[in-house]
């Protein structure tokens, strides 16, 4: 018997009208009492039903009590059966349901499946585990986008808009091709290939190529600003840089959350200042080893987990000023980043520490045609932007070394649980401290640190996070921020 309450214009998402819906349901049940009465049974019949149900329940065989003699995978994906079997890692014998559920979670971590289901079939006294793996019906290519706007409501506006297309299932081991395009103050076009070498995807190679064109302002220092060091420029210059990057790395991923890599990165480019008056060509040759451990549950709004990244590089920068002066700079560089998220109820604290350093000797550098050739010309350390000394423009502080720390508090204001998806709403604030410096002889007490903070509100939507924020530094630089879409 179907009872249909008269809920009028009430819709599925009208959670605030649930009490009204319950009352409507109660009313139609009372009005249908005459129709429901023939379905009524006496207490003896109902008790007999309960006892039969309990007797059948005692005959049930729970999953952890079953011995599996065969595993059958219904593979409706572009991946090979070998890849799925390796990811699921199901052993014959006594079934471990906790391990099976973890294996399915690991498979879903590839973010390429619409559903992964399992059931056990009994046949002639043996048990076969059947797994159904369905690829996303809206694949195999996926589109991510982002829009970022930063404005100090005075003289500086930075903006960018980008898209990333990911083509999956390019090989039986699950190769993927990512194509990126970004427009705005920083223009980027690039491709990257992720190519597993074995079915488990434990070993892989990752070649890439990228073109970057951007305009960078060398800021003047006002009287109330901290001087980075004695070689800080006090001339406002705008430089335009074009560079081509290419590289490749060999990686080992023993677990989904860990990665060890060895690779090489090569850059060639040119930079101009003062129109076309000052020009220099540069190149960078870098070899590196790195380790990454990542258990954060979300990139933008993490509520639990940790992140650790360390990289050691051997770098050679070559600079040719106006086809006249050449400088070769050799350096060893180190990068370390550590962050952790911890939540209690609706409250989350997220802390981050990072350090980037080099041993290059600037004291031996020379200056020609407006350039200090002791700089790490290809990739200077930068601070500025939201949650990276909020309030300062992106790249406001640039130097050979950097240190940074932040603590972000976030409160989950609303859950907005729609069943199939959630769009939680957050509000929060951050405190930040950091600096860049060039002098390799500086000690911690000599480093001129900036302090900054921000307040923000955000929504984690199905199309990506939306974030609105305001940041300010202790030197009274401030900016407003708007960010929409996936961070990549």
- CATH number of the domain within which 314 lies: 2.40.160.50
- Dump pLDDT digits (tens) for 376-416: 455 678 888 999 999 988 878 888 889 999 999 999 999 88
Lowest mean pLDDT among 130-144, 300-314, 366-380: 366-380
- Dump pLDDT digits (tens) for 249-301: 999 999 888 999 999 999 999 988 766 677 888 899 999 999 999 999 888 99
- Using 50, 70 and 90 to split pLDDT, how confident is the model at 229? very low
Q: Residue 34, Cβ neighbours under 10 Å: how many?
A: 7
Single residue among 106, 135, 164 that ends a domain in this structure: 135
In this structure, are 130 and 148 located in the same domain? no
Residue 119 lies inside a defined structural domain of this protein: yes
In this structure, are 52 and 78 located in the same domain? no
Residue 4 lies inside a defined structural domain of this protein: no
Contact 329, 360 (CB under 8 A): yes
Give mean pLDDT, residues 155-177.
87
In this structure, are 146 and 42 located in the same domain? no
Single residue among 101, 116, 135 that ends a domain in this structure: 135
Residue 272 burial (C-beta neighbours within 10 Å; 0-12, 13-18, 19+):
middle
Q: Quote the crossing angle between the two packed helices 81-88 and 97-108, to the nearest 10°.
A: 130
- Give pLDDT, residue 237: 63
Q: Nearest to residue 149, comparing CAs of 470, 486, 481?
A: 481
In this structure, are 45 and 192 located in the same domain? no
In this structure, are 49 and 75 located in the same domain? no
In this structure, are 35 and 113 located in the same domain? no
Residue 5 lies inside a defined structural domain of this protein: no
In this structure, are 307 and 245 located in the same domain? yes
The residue count for the chain: 488
In this structure, are 109 and 186 located in the same domain? no
Average pLDDT, the chain: 82
In this structure, are 372 and 324 located in the same domain? yes
pTM above 0.85, yes or no: no
Pick the more confident residue, 440 or 132.
132
In this structure, are 297 and 427 located in the same domain? yes
- Dump pLDDT digits (tens) for 60-111: 666 566 778 788 888 888 777 877 877 777 777 777 777 788 778 777 766 6
Residue 7 lies inside a defined structural domain of this protein: no
* Rg, the chain, Cα only: 30
Pick the more confident residue, 33 or 458.
458
Q: Are strands 67-76 and 126-135 parallel, antiparallel or unpaired?
A: parallel
Domain extent, residue 85, equals: 63-135
Residue 38 lies inside a defined structural domain of this protein: yes
In this structure, are 121 and 146 located in the same domain? no
428: β partners: 410, 456
Please give the tally of structural domains in the chain: 3
Pick the more confident residue, 235 or 381.
381
Residue 9 lies inside a defined structural domain of this protein: no
In this structure, are 105 and 173 located in the same domain? no
**In the predicted structure, residue 480 carries a pLDDT above the cut 90:** yes
Q: Which two tokens stand for residue 487?
A: 């961070």
């Amino acid at each position: 018997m179907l009872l249909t309450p008269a809920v009028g214009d009430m819709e599925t998402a009208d959670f605030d009208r649930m009490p009204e819906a319950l009352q409507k349901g109660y009313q139609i049940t009372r009005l249908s009492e005459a129709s429901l009465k023939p379905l009524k049974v006496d207490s003896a019949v109902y008790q007999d039903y309960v006892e039969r149900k309990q007797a059948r329940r005692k005959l049930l065989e729970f999953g952890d009590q079953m011995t599996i003699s065969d595993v059958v995978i219904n593979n409706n994906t572009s991946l090979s059966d070998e890849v799925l079997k390796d990811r699921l890692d199901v052993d014959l014998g006594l079934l471990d349901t906790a391990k099976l559920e973890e294996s399915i979670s690991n498979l879903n971590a590839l973010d390429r499946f619409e559903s992964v289901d399992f059931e056990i079939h009994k046949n002639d006294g043996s048990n076969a585990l059947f797994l159904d793996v369905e690829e996303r019906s809206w694949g195999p290519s996926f589109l991510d986008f982002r829009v970022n706007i930063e404005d100090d409501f005075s003289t500086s506006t930075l903006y960018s808009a980008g898209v990333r297309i990911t083509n999956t299932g390019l090989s039986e081991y699950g190769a993927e091709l990512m194509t990126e395009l970004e427009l705005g103050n920083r223009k980027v076009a690039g491709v990257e290939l992720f190519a597993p070498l074995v079915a488990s995807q434990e070993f892989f190679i990752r070649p890439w190529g990228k073109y970057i064109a951007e305009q960078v302002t060398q800021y003047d220092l006002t009287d109330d600003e901290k001087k980075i060091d004695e070689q800080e420029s006090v001339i406002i210059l705008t430089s335009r840089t074009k560079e081509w990057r290419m590289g490749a790395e060999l990686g080992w991923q023993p677990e989904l959350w860990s990665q060890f890599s060895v690779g090489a990165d090569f850059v060639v480019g040119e930079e101009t200042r003062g129109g076309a008056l000052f020009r220099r060509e540069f190149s960078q040759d870098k070899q590196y080893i790195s380790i990454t451990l990542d258990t954060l549950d979300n990139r933008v709004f993490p509520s639990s987990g940790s992140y650790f990244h360390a990289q050691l590089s051997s770098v050679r920068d070559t600079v040719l000023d106006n086809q006249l002066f050449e400088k070769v700079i050799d350096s060893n560089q180190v990068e370390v980043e550590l962050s952790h998220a911890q939540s209690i109820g609706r409250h989350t604290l997220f802390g981050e520490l990072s350090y980037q350093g080099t041993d290059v000797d600037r004291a031996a550098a020379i200056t020609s045609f407006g350039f200090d050739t002791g700089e790490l010309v290809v990739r200077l350390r930068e601070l500025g932007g939201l949650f990276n000394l909020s309030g300062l423009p992106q790249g406001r502080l640039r130097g050979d070394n950097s240190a940074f720390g932040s603590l972000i508090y976030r409160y989950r204001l609303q859950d907005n649980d729609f069943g199939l998806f959630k769009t939680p709403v957050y509000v929060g604030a951050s405190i930040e401290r950091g600096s860049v410096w060039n002098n390799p002889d500086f000690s911690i007490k000599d480093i001129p640190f900036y302090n900054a903070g921000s307040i923000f509100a955000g929504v984690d939507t199905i199309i990506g996070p939306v974030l609105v924020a305001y940041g300010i530094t202790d030197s009274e630089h401030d900016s407003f921020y708007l960010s929409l879409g996936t961070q990549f």
